[in-house]
Amino acid sequence: MAAAVLGRAAGGARRWRALAVPRRGGAGLAVDDTVNGLSAEQRQLRQTMTKFCQEHLAPKAQQIDQENEFKGMRDFWKKLGELGVLGVTAPAEYGGSALGYLDHVLVMEEISRASASVGLSYGAHSNLCINQLVRNGNEAQKHKYLPKLISGEHIGALAMSEPNAGSDVVSMKLKADKKGDFFVLNGNKFWITNGPDADVLIVYAKTDMNAVPASQGITAFIVERGMPGFRTAQKLDKLGMRGSNTCELIFEDCKVPAENVLGTLSKGVYVLMSGLDLERLVLSGGPLGLMQAVLDHAIPYLHVREAFGQKIGHFQLMQGKMADMYTRLMACRQYVYNVAKACDQGHFNAKDCAGVILYSAECATQVALDGIQCLGGNGYINDYPMGRFLRDAKLYEIGAGTSEVRRLVIGRAFNATFK
Amino acid sequence: MAALRVLVGVKRVIDFAVKVRVAPGGAAVQTQGVKHSLNPFCEIALEEAVRLREAGAATEVVVATLGTKASQETLRTALAMGADRAVLAELAEGAAAGPREVAVALAALARRLQPQLVLLGKQAIDDDCNQTGQILAAILDWPQGTFASRVSLEPGAVQVQREVDGGLETLRLRLPAVLTADLRLNEPRYATLPNIMKAKKKPLEVVPAADLGVPAGPPRLRLLQLQEPPPRAGGEKVESVESLLGKLRHAGRI
């Protein structure tokens, strides 16, 4: 086969490698985008991203996880910028692709399929930071910050959580005091994705500690790395999503120019909450990509591994596992893709944005567990990626609002219709 | 600048990273639900054509394929990579074609479109025939430069270089000519998101294969049987040259 010959070619042979062995993964399974209802351009987009990620990211995924570091992150970000996928939802005048949330979900899914931790960093950069700037920034702020974030020259982040304020984010204590043309920030943020690497961060702080209700005292700010009084502390050592650098942010009399208020003073909670809905939608691509990755590895394995004289994929209990994993993934896909399409039509609701990530995150954990089980003992050793898939999947039940909070959002939405 | 049109032939094949399996019956490989993509050598040919246009040496890149409706997706990828327009020579569902049939279709398109250059991949990674470019050149009675690792256009001619055992071989061919691309000709670009969206507006024409003279019925080359190679047997290490010679003699090899 040409593929084997090409594997020995020198120079310029950027992707000819040995014939795929299940253990190292290969092309992955074909995805039925007709059932998924994607347009021709969206299928193209998935194809480009699958190819790009399988070549430039998947081979590094294991190392990124083991070392808890993505050494080539800056270069990779620039390549993503060239592909036009960092500013998927940003207007063309800033270098964006001016497309929709479904396109964004697809990119999120394919990056996560290769490496969920890099996918998480991508989501934080492209949605939490870039999309919030697009939706809430004034012209000056957009022109100043978006171009380099969209080209990949700068890395973005968003900070709302604190050591003592996760689910109860409105009780945050980071203070912002107005002093002339500046706001002076004092306090900490915690669990901040891309914190160690970010050049631009959207930070939520309390400009009014006495507001009633407390939510009316929050303001969003744009902070730059290098602003005096702002520093990052230790990189966190996490169970999963290793390589998606997370850290604590420390503000000690950090001076932020007043022109860096994002949105309106003391109305930051609206920036925060509406951003959360779209964050949940786009990040749902993460669990989808993870579930696809589990299938990409488990299904071929089941048709290579033998026991009792046959391929184990032919035993009924394994057929059952394949069915369960596949149907969970497909059901989640249709929910996520349809809510994304609705948002693209201007139809947003918090209930479904919470619903898609609630459901797909919990399915992803289950599918990842099934994936480990399919590989048996091999699923338990770190030569195979199944353990990493589980550790990465679990994050999605916690970040972007825990499953508990998501359930509250949906329940309360129903309560509100029966007031 | 005088119009210089480049016609690029491409093929939709099973993705290079897929582990191919023989279908029941033994006369085909499994293609249902299997990931397909643009043949890697065709990508290289297309990339070269787009670079020629970007450098101002060519004015238009037309990409064409002989295939079923599914090949439209392959053409869309080619448009997203920079081709200006696409032609699908459409086969009926389930119909097959080999190098001869493809060459006949491309020859008919070449007569219609009058390109100065036809660029193809040297071979497809599914059948590894390495015949289409050569047959096409013969049908058209055009000069051919195969296994190209470097291409440069001159007025009325093209210089093409290929790697041979002794080094590099360079030919100058009068235009119009047929070239086939080898691995180190270039590194193809990705279809970026903005280009995918731009490609939406590019024309994709569908022409029945019969209209281009492709004969109906089975292809000239018929695949009789496929089987997986025998599993590799273990080797044996020996301690000395004498021992090696002895074992080879014993096995009747010398």
What pLDDT tens digit does each residue of chain A (419 aa) get?
444 444 333 333 333 333 333 333 456 888 999 999 999 999 999 999 999 999 999 999 999 999 999 999 999 999 999 999 999 999 999 999 999 999 999 999 999 999 999 999 999 999 999 999 999 999 999 999 999 999 999 999 999 999 999 999 999 999 999 999 999 999 999 999 999 999 999 999 999 999 999 999 999 999 999 999 999 999 999 999 999 999 999 999 999 999 999 999 999 999 998 899 999 999 999 999 999 999 999 999 999 999 999 999 999 999 999 999 999 999 999 999 999 999 999 999 999 999 999 999 999 999 999 999 999 999 999 999 999 999 999 999 999 999 999 999 999 999 999 98
- For residues A282 and A409, membership in a common domain is answered with yes
Query: Following CA atoms A141, A142, A148, A154 in sequence, which dihedral angle do they give, to the nearest 10 degrees?
Result: 60
Of the three residues A155, A188, A222, the one that is the final residue of a domain is: A155
Q: Is A20 within the bounds of a domain?
A: no
- Reported as half-sphere exposure (CB side, CA atoms, 13 A), residue B167 has a value of 2
User: Would an 8 Å CB–CB cutoff place A12 in contact with chain B?
Assistant: yes
- For residues A369 and A409, membership in a common domain is answered with yes
- For residues A61 and A136, membership in a common domain is answered with yes
> Residue A26's pLDDT is what?
57
Nearest-angstrom CA–CA distance, A351 and A181: 39
The domain that holds A213 is classified in CATH as 2.40.110.10
Q: Is A9 within the bounds of a domain?
A: no
Of the three residues A155, A172, A192, the one that is the final residue of a domain is: A155
Q: Is A31 within the bounds of a domain?
A: no
- For residues A145 and A236, membership in a common domain is answered with no
**According to the annotation, is A8 in a ligand binding site?**
no
> Residue B1's pLDDT is what?
58
Q: Is A130 within the bounds of a domain?
A: yes
The alpha carbon of B53 is separated from its chain's Cα centroid by a whole number of angstroms, namely 20
- For residues A256 and A290, membership in a common domain is answered with no
Write out the E strands in B80-134.
85-90, 117-121
Report the residue of A47, A55, A305 to disrupt the B interface, i.e. the one with the largest count of B CBs within 10 Å.
Answer: A47
Tokens describing residue A222: 């744009």
The domain that holds A320 is classified in CATH as 1.20.140.10
B237 CA to chain A: closest CA distance, Å?
Answer: 24
- Domain interval for residue A179: 157-268
* Cβ–Cβ gap B183/A6 under 8 Å: yes
- For residues A149 and A168, membership in a common domain is answered with no
The domain that holds A60 is classified in CATH as 1.10.540.10
B2 CA to chain A: closest CA distance, Å?
Answer: 32
A245 near A235, Cβ under 8 Å? yes
Q: How many residues does chain B have?
A: 254
B33 to chain A: which residues are within 8 Å by CB? 29-30, 32
Query: Mean pLDDT over residues B208-227, rounded?
Result: 90
Residues 39-78 of A with CB under 8 A from B: 40-41, 43-45, 47-48, 51-52, 54
Q: Is A4 within the bounds of a domain?
A: no
Q: Is A26 within the bounds of a domain?
A: no
Q: Is A7 within the bounds of a domain?
A: no
Of the three residues A107, A131, A155, the one that is the final residue of a domain is: A155
- For residues A150 and A45, membership in a common domain is answered with yes
Nearest-angstrom CA–CA distance, A28 and B16: 11
Element (H, E) at A200: strand A200-206
Q: Which residues of B touch A (CB under 8 A)?
A: 15-20, 33-37, 40, 73, 76-77, 80, 123, 125, 128, 183-184, 186-187, 190-197, 199-200
Q: Residue B78: phi, psi to the nearest 5? A: -65, -40
* Cβ–Cβ gap B125/A26 under 8 Å: no
- For residues A308 and A411, membership in a common domain is answered with yes
- For residues A195 and A65, membership in a common domain is answered with no
Question: Residues A231-235: contacts with CB within 8 Å, 24+ apart?
Answer: A232/A195, A232/A196, A235/A68, A235/A196
What one-character-per-residue DSSP string does A264-276 give?
A: STT-HHHHHHHHH
* ipTM, 2 dp: 0.82
* Nearest by Cα to A121 from A97, A155, A162: A155
Q: Quick check: helix, strand or coil at residue A231? A: strand
- For residues A190 and A143, membership in a common domain is answered with no
Q: Report how many domains make up chain A.
A: 3
Residues of A marked as catalytic: 279
- For residues A126 and A162, membership in a common domain is answered with no
A29 to chain B: which residues are within 8 Å by CB? 33, 35
Q: Is A17 within the bounds of a domain?
A: no
Does residue B232 have a pLDDT over 90? Answer: no
- For residues A241 and A290, membership in a common domain is answered with no
Residue A276 CB neighbours (<10 A): 20
